[in-house]
Structure 1
């Protein structure tokens, strides 16, 4: 008989109504992996930051019909992934970090289904203590709370997985070719790989996220096989701290100064949501227009792209073959020893 495999998809989550925006933000900033301040300060500071961000977030979600599209798109990915795993009786469950369905809801549903094995699959290709790390902690707490005792394998990251890279490179290549057809031949085109940012202090303390973004960009360029003008930049600053640089805003302004059009690749995102549909498609497009950038284009995220779904299926198959515990797409530790927040690092070396 085919094994019953529960695949738990981790993602950020998003408000499903205007009323959910404030509690979503509170959940986000109450997470100790996000707001790294003393525990007795965090609740107050989270309220202050959330209160300041409610109005702009409400405006952004108004452009999206009053809610995030992330859950529906993740459900599409889940449905497609189930069909891509015909050798198993596979069912996908969604565990969002900051809004429904939370890990506890997913753990209860998994337990009710009664799988033989569980694979934890983050829809964050790049490991960070603020995303996958936080989601793994939430899952372990939820599984313990409901008494879910099943053989489990957690995939920590897949920044250089060949199938993921091929799928991403194909999207970039298609968008680049389309942009070139719409541009005057004399106008140069620069590719901006835009990733979600992180406070600089988190990276300095051993988080491997930025390093993994750089690995992905190098792999995508190699798979594409085309030498192009490009840069890596970071968006979505959310706290007053210094964040990793350069910012996407600065790179758009530099493109204006250089007289080059830009093709923005949301390299850290695999689903459309407010940071792509509003921040990239509205805010940075408006900035590019205001600064005189001669052309602004954007690569779509993977969503349920068949190549990406096939990559996820391959990751699940590899996880099942590796056995319970922690694994990644390479089968070994990917991060350099200096990254103490890598989940493969010895516990006494971890920075957080």
Structure 2
């Protein structure tokens, strides 16, 4: 193998205020988000995106009028290329970004990869936890476009990494610093840690068997265990979910409700965004501005938000290790190149067939 392409998937975000409405339209046109026949889905996507655009534009106004996700993902791509370059001598490694709802979208990404003419492709979602609404949707969109454009190259994919050692180490390092900061600021008040993840409609878990919440819980528990091995025992922590939209019932508890409860119970708070690898509107606006205001109103005096992992060395090295392991095991991989199924066998939405070996 002389040329290796790494495709990094993420949701994407509008690169200017005028892009907010079409970005939202692309989001709600995704069958994984609105499961309705195409004509109805198009009408719903058009209606919802037009109605929500002014509110979303105001959100992006708080962070310079655009999402920083593409620039930050580019930084991760460059860091991963350097890390893999240290391990794969004589191989031209290049990372390609493929966003689901805004540029670079699958058609552009597939064409760019095809022009690179790789000998092999590794598909690596930057969604730590597998969900039918994110990972599966990105895979499906890529497959459809690749078939249309005629990209025929040997390929395998990493489905998820909620318990990857590099991911856990990076999260634990950042949480440790935030927790110690909260302890010093709390004035003796107990400190509660919220592992906040983007929410999901409850029906997707019950009807599709989406493994996302179980993987969130698995990762949170292992981060707590990692800190315990370092002599820091978190006695008060829980998983919560943010960013609820629409009228459907979502998985819970909600991060907003838990912030209010912390105020009633006299707790300081540390918030760790456990489902996000880069900063974007859900961290920079929802957590840092909107939920911090909720915390202040609820009487939470100490509110510390853990940064996203970004290009933390342990995280990047963990991604590199997953790619290397996936190259050794070219079948469908879970997690991070391993043969063993991560999800329980009753989780129907897990894409990995249980192995008997």
Asked if Structure 1 and Structure 2 have the same fold, meaning a TM-score greater than 0.5 normalized by the shorter chain, the answer is yes
Q: 2:197 aligned with 1:195, yes or no?
A: yes
Structure-2 residue corresponding to 1:349: none
Contact 1:319 1:327 in 2 (8 A): no
Contact 2:189 2:268 in 1 (8 A): yes
In 2: Cα distance, 1:245 partner to 1:337 partner: 23
In 2: Cα distance, 1:339 partner to 1:52 partner: 35
Per-residue deviation, residues 267-304 of structure 1 (Å, max 9, x unmatched): 00000000000000000000101111121110000111
Q: Which residue of 262, 265, 270 corresponds with 2:269?
A: 262
Offset at residue 201 of structure 1 (A): 0.2
Structure-1 residue corresponding to 2:246: 239
Contact 2:334 2:342 in 1 (8 A): no
2:323 match: secondary structure: helix
Structure-2 residue corresponding to 1:350: none
Structure-2 residue corresponding to 1:151: 154
In 1: Cα distance, 2:147 partner to 2:34 partner: 25
CA RMSD after TM alignment: 1.3
Contact 2:182 2:269 in 1 (8 A): no
Structure-1 residue corresponding to 2:342: 334
How many residues are matched? 344
In 1: Cα distance, 2:225 partner to 2:35 partner: 36
In 1: Cα distance, 2:118 partner to 2:246 partner: 40
Contact 2:4 2:93 in 1 (8 A): yes
Q: 2:99 aligned with 1:96, yes or no?
A: yes
Offset at residue 3 of structure 1 (A): 2.9
1:57-68 paired onto structure 2 within 5 Å:
57-68=56-67
In 2: Cα distance, 1:140 partner to 1:194 partner: 31
Contact 1:179 1:297 in 2 (8 A): yes
Q: Which residue of 206, 213, 233 corresponds with 1:227?
A: 233
Q: TM-score, normalised by structure 2?
A: 0.94
Per-residue deviation, residues 173-218 of structure 1 (Å, max 9, x unmatched): 111112222221x111100000000000001120000000001001
Contact 2:200 2:251 in 1 (8 A): yes
In 1: Cα distance, 2:5 partner to 2:57 partner: 35
5-14 or 160-169: bigger deviation: 160-169
In 1: Cα distance, 2:262 partner to 2:254 partner: 13
Structure-1 residue corresponding to 2:283: 276
1:85 match: secondary structure: helix
Structure-2 residue corresponding to 1:290: 297
Offset at residue 345 of structure 1 (A): 4.5
Structure-1 residue corresponding to 2:18: 19
Structure-1 residue corresponding to 2:320: 313
In 2: Cα distance, 1:195 partner to 1:284 partner: 13
In 2: Cα distance, 1:200 partner to 1:40 partner: 25
